[in-house]
Structure 1
Amino acid sequence: MKAYVFPGQGAQAKGMGANLFDEFPELTNKADCILGYSIKELCVEDPLEQLGDTKFTQPALYVVNALSYFKEIQSSGVKPDFVAGHSLGEYNALLAAEAFSFETGLMLVKKRGDLMSQARGGGMAAIVNSSKEEIEAALKENGLNNVQIANFNSPKQIVISGMKEEVEKFQPIIQQGRTIFVALKTSGAFHSRFMQDASEKFNTFLQGFIFANLNTPVISNVTAMPYKNGEIVDNLSQQITHSVRWTDSVDYMMQQGVTDFVELGNGNVLTKLLRDIKKAK
């Protein structure tokens, strides 16, 4: 069985999608109209150095992921048995399952990026070679109550999120022996309770859309289980404040018989995580 998986924030890089925009001129033009700027120029040249700003990162990744998917379908004609995406990438999974059109998905992502970019004072860091239990115990013992786990990326990599000063205080505490602390470039405490305001505003925005029933199982970041019809508004709202359960999502698909995972989009972030998840089996 085959699954298509789509990366999220962190996969962006100047030059991404360079070979795609001219192949899909109609969709590229639609993206420009929705966004109010040239998506090709942003992704390929990034003249104003905006690609690292979540307000621009999210639409850019969504478009490149989407065009990558359409090209894959054009060339192979193979529809996947499952689809999943990491954080922002979940919108591309829903697009692939025909929950909404390319244009609707981009409008959702644009709003999501706008709301999340308003978050300030937050920080995130990747913790390598430490477990959930070790991280949570260390946070509790040191009174760092404004930090929580944001992403379960692989058995080797967990991302924390919270108030920036507390995230920074955690580095010398957890970085012992084989454990590595890597600060991430982000202005907000994404996938944490500190995004509640953005989540509520996004929920209100989502109420204005009608979503189709899914034609392919989409694995939810929030539950690590397939979406049920009618859950899109709740899942996408909760995703902003809840942990990304990527390891559990991949485990679920493997248990269903998926052996072929194809990453569509820029880079190979998820391919590397998949390798670590499979190694732990």
Structure 2
Amino acid sequence: MCGTDIAAWRRPTTGADPGGITVFAIFFPGQGAQFRGMGADVFSRYPGMTRFASDLLGYDLVSRCRDNQDDVLSRTECTQPALFTVNALHTFERERREAPPADYCLGHSLGEYNALLAAGVFDFETGLRIVKRRGELMAAASGGGMSAVMNTPAPRLLDLLREDGVEGVDVAAYNTDAQVVIAGGDSALRAAHAALKARGIRFASLRVGAAFHSRHMEPVRSEFESFLKEFTFEEPGTAVISNVTGRPYEPGTIPEMLSRQLVEPVRWADSIRYLLSRGVGVEYEEIGGNSLLRMVRSIEKTDSRDVLSKSGV
């Protein structure tokens, strides 16, 4: 492991592994994982790539990450390329140390681009150019926001909002059974918050500037899809699980899936359950933090309770 920038978790197993299969997956976090000082441990190790990123982006990436003056890292157009670069450098450092290769790569929202980079779909320059444009387009679609809602399954949540006459809110992420994320315009979110508060349902507003992964991103989808046509993509050398489907990418679908990701929810819980179905032993490693690992533990606990319930224990 490399300091605190890579976290690992092994899924607890009971009994023998009948198939002898252990699945190893690497996770890459998305927007929200940024923090002041990120990248300090890798920028100096990769000065050429760091300078290249700064030149491509048009600003000193190191100083922005170090100082975060005026909370610039919270701005989508800066957050996305900065986090992509830092995640990429940690990935290159992991490869330099000849750490074990993954069977699967997964990223949450923006993190999916790092998963695709790690799987050889595109090189660092291509990935950074795409993420830079993605951040610009998503930042331009300002207005609205997102909130995490706790302990209310998505179908029940949507039913409650409909009962209370709340319209214009979409599910933007199925993170775990205990947490979903909703997105909508400002007035719709205010109405949703009032309905949730009246029912005693916990929620937390997220620090984002728009309603990502929802119908409200539709205006930028076509422009981003056209932009992606300028690039050539290789097929993944390591299986990458798509946010859109919760399943590995199928051949020839990368531009379509990345465009759909803007307007469709992140199916993280489905992605993890797919992993759990691939082997009795599962090992995980997260680049840049442990927020995704915490989600995995929550999903595993839910599944374990379901198994015990069905067995009558």
TM-score, shorter chain, exceeding 0.5 = yes
Q: Write the distance in 2 (CA, Å) between the matches of 1:45 and 1:164.
A: 30
Q: Which residue of 1 aligns with 2:8?
A: none
CA drift of 1:142 comes to 2.0
CA drift of 1:225 comes to 0.6
CA drift of 1:177 comes to 6.8
Q: Write the distance in 2 (CA, Å) between the matches of 1:178 and 1:255.
A: 35
CA drift of 1:271 comes to 1.5
Q: Determine helix, strand or coil for the equivalent of 1:228.
A: coil
Q: Unmatched 5+ residue regions in structure 1?
A: none
What fraction of aligned residue pairs are identical, expressed as a percent? Answer: 42
The within-5 A match list for 1:89-168 is 89-168=111-190
- Give 4+ residue runs of structure 1 displaced > 4 Å after superposition: none
Structure of higher CA gyration radius: 2
| CA shift in 2, pair 1:125/1:62, >3 Å | same
Q: Which residue of 1 aligns with 2:105?
A: 83
Q: Unmatched 5+ residue regions in structure 2?
A: 1-22, 304-313
| CA shift in 2, pair 1:166/1:246, >3 Å | same
Q: Write the distance in 2 (CA, Å) between the matches of 1:264 and 1:133.
A: 32
**8 A Cα contact 1:123 1:164, kept in partner:** yes
String of CA shifts for 1:170-221, please: whole Å, max 9, x gaps: 1232236773110112221100011011111100000010011210000000
CA drift of 1:274 comes to 1.2
Q: Which residue of 1 aligns with 2:286?
A: 263
> TM-score scaled by structure 1?
0.96
Instruction: Pick one of 9, 23, 30 that aligns with 2:45.
Output: 23
String of CA shifts for 1:232-272, please: whole Å, max 9, x gaps: 1000000000000000001101111261110012x321111
Q: Determine helix, strand or coil for the equivalent of 1:22.
A: helix
Instruction: Pick one of 203, 207, 210 that aligns with 2:225.
Output: 203
CA RMSD for the aligned pairs?
1.3
**8 A Cα contact 1:127 1:179, kept in partner:** yes
1:236 and 2:258 are equivalent in the alignment = yes
> TM-score scaled by structure 2?
0.87
CA drift of 1:229 comes to 2.0
